Amino acid sequence: MTETRYDVVGIGNAIVDVLSHETDAFLADNDMAKGAMTLIDGDRAAALYDRMGPGVECSGGSAANTIAGLAALGGRAAFIGKVADDQLGEVFRHDIQALGVGFDTPSDRDGKPTARCLIMVTPDAQRTMNTYLGACVDLMPDDVDEELIAASAVTYLEGYLWDPPHAKDAFRKAARAAEAAGRKVSLSLSDSFCVDRHRDDFLDLVERHVDILFANEDEIMALYRVPDFDSALRHVRGHCDVAVLTRGPQGSVVIAGDEVHAVPAEPVDHVADTTGAGDAYAAGFLYGLTQGRDLATCARMGGICAAEVIQHVGARPDIPLADIVNSRVGAAS
């Protein structure tokens, strides 16, 4: 197999987050499903933005967060996603390129604004997300450069990509290109409501294309429509090479053939905002994997990264991740 140019290329919705502290009553008054990611249209986005408190803007997007984390760890990373030719698009492009990530998907000039996610952080540090996809709906198969995919050890895809109309074709094109080049395909299930929207497609993907699956408890139970985690574990075993299941404060479980690793969560002083916890976990795990670490160490690295991002507002690392991870698990030999 030829040398890789990137450890991981991510494909996802290119989103700028707008985070605000809100009460549970605010969620109820505005008909939000707490903890979920809900898709909203431009009118709803404008109305919700009018009602929400002062915000902080930072680049987001699930796969983009993972790629940003991977780059912050020292990994070689690239990203494919669609922003508009506007100020928020410039913010997204700047932030990911500033981390050294290869990102050259052309901006959309179709008049749709860059996607934004209005995130309500409640006093319990839970986040409730409302996403207006904007320019993301114009991500097309042509935006997927097959040579880039073939040159990347892992192609990482977010389940949310199933929401915009053409992105699933981009997604499939990427998966085929990765397989043809003998590379790995990784998928994050993103959100249990997203799983409900696209269950049959996701089951097919997991069965036929996915080498490394990321899901949290709710998502994996939703995928197999089972009421408990242990049943989900039995279902997922054998469906993909590696299944990585995160359980919040209960840590994570990695299943790979006959191997099972249950790894506790990292200790955390104060949880400020859980936005991006799963994305950061995937960053740490995939970085470990592409550095040749064993699966238990990969899970540990994922947990360390997740612990960092939940201790501040915003989904991306605030401090040099590589230093923290290396100090706890040791640099790669």
Q: Which is nearer to its own copies, 96 or 277 (CB)?
A: 96
Q: Which is nearer to its own copies, 90 or 217 (CB)?
A: 90
Q: How far is the CB of 98 from its own copies (least distance, A)?
A: 5
Please give the angle made by the CA atoms of 217, 9 and 63, to the nearest 5 degrees: 40
Q: Which is nearer to its own copies, 55 or 141 (CB)?
A: 55
Q: How far is the CB of 25 from its own copies (least distance, A)?
A: 14
Contact 265, 250 (CB under 8 A): yes
Q: Which of 58, 163, 61, 133 is nearest to 103 (CA)?
A: 61
Placement of tokens 């840590």 in the chain? 251
Q: Which is nearer to its own copies, 86 or 158 (CB)?
A: 86
Contact 134, 326 (CB under 8 A): no
Contact 138, 163 (CB under 8 A): no
Return the SS3 of 70: helix
What residues line the site for its own copies (CB under 8 A)? 21, 49-50, 52-59, 68, 86-88, 91, 94-96, 98-99, 113, 312-314, 316, 318-319
**CB neighbour list of residue 238: distance below 8 Å, 6 or more residues apart:** 257
Q: Which is nearer to its own copies, 86 or 143 (CB)?
A: 86
Map 89-102 to HEC letters: HHHHHHHHHHCCCE
Q: Which is nearer to its own copies, 181 or 315 (CB)?
A: 315
Cα-based distances in Å from 94 to 16, 65, 101, 310: 12, 14, 10, 23
Q: How far is the CB of 313 from its own copies (least distance, A)?
A: 7
Q: How far is the CB of 102 from its own copies (least distance, A)?
A: 15
Q: Which of 252, 243, 298 is nearest to 278 (CA)?
A: 252
**CB neighbour list of residue 327: distance below 8 Å, 6 or more residues apart:** none
Q: How far is the CB of 58 from its own copies (least distance, A)?
A: 5
Q: How far is the CB of 275 from its own copies (least distance, A)?
A: 13
Please give the angle made by the CA atoms of 155, 116 and 133, to the nearest 5 degrees: 65
Q: Which is nearer to its own copies, 121 or 161 (CB)?
A: 121
Q: How far is the CB of 176 from its own copies (least distance, A)?
A: 32
Q: How far is the CB of 148 from its own copies (least distance, A)?
A: 22
Q: Which is nearer to its own copies, 58 or 233 (CB)?
A: 58
Torsion, Cα of 60, 74, 97, 14 (10° steps):
-30
What does DSSP assign to residue 266? P
